[in-house]
Amino acid sequence: MGEDEGMVYDAKNTGSSDKSNPKLTLLPLIALIFYEVSGGPFGVEDSVRAGGGPLLSLLGFLIFPLIWSVPEALVTAELATSFPENGGYVIWISSAFGPFWGFQEGFWKWFSGVMDNALYPVLFLDYLKHSIPIFNLLVARIPALLGLTVSLTYLNYRGLHIVGFSAVLLASFSLFPFIVMGILSVPRIRPQRWFAVDFGKVDWRGYFNSLFWNLNYWDKASTVAGEVEDPRKTFPKALYGAVALVVCAYLIPLLSGTGAVKTDPSEWSDGYFAEVGMLIGGAWLKWWIQAASAMSNLGLFEAEMSSDAFQLLGMSEIGMLPSVFSLRSKYGTPTVSILCSATGVIFLSWMSFQEIIEFLNFLYSAGMLLEFAAFIRLRIKKPDLHRPYKVPLETFGATMLCIPPAFLLVLVMCLASLKTYLVSGTVIIFGFLLYPALVHMKNERWFQFKTAGEPSGRFKNDLEDQPVASEEPEEINDEASTSLLSELPSSKKDKGTQISSGATTLD
C-alpha cells in the first residue's frame, strides 16, 4: 500500500463530513481532550499506594506533566495543525517514514486505545460496587458491562458534536464534588502528611504505569482533526486549556485527600476517593463522588471510542484500510469503525485493571517514540512544511524537548513484565504481517479500497489514476501537500502524473 499501490493522501479532502454535521468548537474540544487524557482524579489513587505514600504521588503529578505532558501536547499542536485531517498521527508518521510505519503506528495506537477503553465500563462498576454490592457478582456484572458498551456505542454513533457537548457536561459534573471536597478539607489539612513516604513499599512499576496512564493520550484528539472547526487555531488553544485542567484535576483532590485524612497508603486503590469523601464530608459526598466517577468513566469511554473510530476512518480515506471503514452514518459518524472498536472493547474487558494498563502503556510508548522521531524528521526533512502553529524552538531545541519524554517512554517499556513483552510483541508482529496482507488484498481486489479519483468526504479527489503525458503538475496551494509531493520519485514526475487540489501520494 505504498506509492505503487496508489495510496493517496488528500490534504483537503480527508476527514470531511457533510455540512449538516456540526464541527467541534473550542470548549467541546477541550472537554474531549480532557477525557482522552484524564476524566478527573479517578484512577490516580493507585499512585499513592504504589508510591509508598503521598509524597511521590504529589511530586509525580507536579513534575511529570512538565517533562511529559507539555512536550507531547506541543508536538501534537504542531503536527495536528500541519495535517488537520482525520487519521492524525497515522498521517504524520506516513509523511515522515512512509506508509508502512504509518500503518504500524495506527495499528499500535488503535489496539492500545481499545484496550484503554475496555477499562472504563469496568471502572464504572468498580465505583458503584462499593454502594451496590450486586455488581461484585458476575451474574450482574457481565450484563451490565455489555449494556453499558452497547448504550455508549450508540451515543457515539449519533454524532461527534453530541459526544463533545456531553463531555462538557460530564466534566463539569465530575469535577464539582472535588472542588467541594477541597473547600471542606481546608480546616483539616496537615501539610506534614504530604511528605510521608516509605521507600521500602514503593512499587516502581506500578507507580510509573499509574502516572503514565493518567497523563498520556494527548495526541489522540488529532484523529478527529478533520471534524474540528478551524483546527489550525482551535487545536493549540484546546491543548493548552486541557493541560491546565488535567493538572488541577489531579493535584487538588490529592492535596485535599492526603492532607486532610490520615490513612495507610495501602488503602489507596481504585475507588478510594469515595471513602475519602465520606471521611471529609459525610455520606452525601461519598455518593456524589461515586456518581461523578461513574459519569466520568462514561465520558472517558465516549472520547476514546470517538478517536479510535475516526482514526480507522482516516486510515480508510487514505487507502490503508478497506473503504468500508470510511462509511459514515447520516450523523456523519463512521459506523463500521465504531462497531469494530466496540467489539474490541467487549473482547478485552475480561482482563484485569493492572494488566490492561501495562499492555496499553507498552504499545502506546512504542507509538509515541515513533511520533517524536517523526516530529524531528519532519523538522529536518520538510523545513518549509506549512505549520500554522510551530513549537517556538529550532530543530536542535525541538530535539532536546523530545529527549526527556522519550527517556520516560523507554523506562516504562523496560519496567514491563515478561507477560507484557509477550503480548505486546505478538501484537507488533501481527501488525508487521497485516500490512503486506492488506497490500495483497488490495492488489487482488478482494476488498474495495479508496484510490485516486474516488470521492472522499463531501469532496472529490482530483488525482487521476492514469498518467497524463501532455500535462504538467498544477501548482499546489496546500504547503503540507507540497512537502509530501517532494517525496515522489522522479520517474513519477517525468510521467506527468496529474495532481490538483493538494492531493498526493502518501510516501
Q: Which residues contact 472 (CB under 8 A, 6 or more apart)?
A: 496
- pLDDT exceeds cutoff 50 at 496: no
Q: How far apart are CA 168 and CA 60, in angstroms?
A: 27
Q: Are 93 and 105 in contact (CB under 8 A)?
A: yes
pLDDT of residue 285: 92
What the block records as the C-alpha cell of 37 is 487524557
Average pLDDT over all residues of the chain: 78
Which residues share a beta bridge with 157?
Answer: none
pLDDT band at 21 (very low <50, low <70, confident <90, very high): low
Closest CA to 505 of 476, 370, 432, 446: 476
Judge contact between 502 and 85, C-beta under 8 A: no
Q: Select the more confidently predicted residue: 155 or 492.
A: 155
Q: Is the pLDDT of residue 198 over 50?
A: yes
What's the pLDDT at 9? 38
The residue with greater pLDDT, 254 or 170, is: 254
Higher-pLDDT residue of 232 and 49 is 49
The answer to whether 501 touches 10, Cβ cutoff 8 Å, is yes
Domain chopping of the chain, boundaries: 26-440
Sign of the torsion formed by the C-alpha atoms of 369, 375, 378 and 380: negative
pLDDT at residue 102 is higher than 80:
yes
Residue 481 clears pLDDT 70, i.e. is over it: no
SS (H, E, C) 80-144: HHHCCCECCHHHHHHHHHCHHHHHHHHHHHHHHHHHHHHHHHHHHHHHHCCCCHHHHCHHHHHHH
Task: Inform me whether the pLDDT recorded for 181 exceeds 90.
Answer: yes
CATH architecture for residues 26-440: Up-down Bundle (1.20)
pLDDT at position 55 = 94
| Residue 13 φ then ψ, to 5° | -95, -35
More confident site: 484 or 421: 421
Any idea which of 117-121, 310-314, 395-399 has the lowest mean pLDDT? 117-121
Please determine, for residue 458, whether its predicted confidence score (pLDDT) is greater than 70: no
pLDDT confidence tier of residue 501, bands split at 50, 70 and 90: very low
Q: By mean pLDDT, which of 16-25, 59-68, 154-163, 198-207 is the weakest?
A: 16-25
- pLDDT confidence of residue 328: 83
Rg of the Cα trace of the chain? 23
Looking at per-residue pLDDT, the higher value among 220 and 163 belongs to 220
Which pLDDT does position 131 carry in this prediction?
67
pLDDT above 50: residue 507: no
Higher per-residue confidence, 248 vs 128: 248
How far apart are alpha carbons 241 and 156 in whole angstroms?
A: 24
479 pLDDT tier (thresholds 50, 70, 90) = very low
- Asked whether the predicted pLDDT for residue 174 surpasses 80, the reply is yes
Percentage of the chain surpassing pLDDT 90?
A: 24
Higher pLDDT, 467 or 293: 293
For 296-339, the pLDDT digits (tens) are 877 777 777 888 888 888 888 888 888 888 888 777 777 888 88
Give the lowest-confidence range in 60-69, 159-168, 218-227, 353-362: 159-168
Residue 503's φ and ψ, nearest 5 degrees, are: -90, 140
Question: DSSP for 324-378?
Answer: GGG-B-TTS-BHHHHHHHHHHHHHHTTS-HHHHHHHHHHHHHHHHHHHHHHHHHH
pLDDT-derived band at 293 (thresholds 50, 70, 90) equals confident
- pLDDT on residue 123: 73
Q: Please say if the pLDDT value at position 70 is more than 90.
A: no
